[in-house]
Amino acid sequence: QSTWGLLLMIIFVWAVFCSTFTPQTLPDCDQLKPFQVRCDSIAIDPHTSAALACHPNKTLTVLCDVLDGVRCRGSRTFTKTSPCRYTINRNGKKWSTALLLSAVFGVFGVDRFYLGYPFIGSLKLVTFGGFVVGNIIDMTLIATQVLTPSDGSDYVISSDLPVMKKVSLKTR
């Protein structure tokens, strides 16, 4: 019995020793958590409420540095890609205008013509806004910013209005 006890104690001590002193692999610097890095601030256009450096693929590139005291592999300065709202310029389609056009003239398809969907606008014109039901659906889609301009850009939104963001949970 004492032999088994001694053998179990040796295995236990060996397991603790190995788990304590095995070198752990360091994460790559560009894969650190947001609180472990400091990234340059993003310039926001006050007229469009969108990032100035946003690309048409709705991403922007930011320069980041690893904070002091954080250990990682690779370069401590790196670029990180972040999602952003893309507006073509200050003359892009305004959310408030699209919503107003949908509420007032939506049964005639004016909102869809404004957003760049002439075929659907023509259908709404001929069917009196999809028998009003289509207009109510379009007002909801515009209000929640699901229906966006046909060119793929986001709405130009003045800084005092809410901006809708799509939120998703990613698990590893």
Encode pLDDT of 55-109 as tens digits.
Answer: 889 999 999 999 999 999 999 999 999 888 888 766 789 999 999 999 999 999 9
Alpha-carbon 146 to chain mean position: 14
| Residues 6 or more apart whose Cβ sits within 8 Å of residue 30 | 64, 74, 78, 80
Closest CA to 141 of 164, 170, 113: 164
pTM score: 0.67
Predicted local confidence at residue 168, as pLDDT: 57
CB 61 within 8 A of CB 43: no
Confidence category of residue 110, pLDDT binned at 50, 70, 90: very high
The residue ranking higher by pLDDT, 53 or 2, is 53
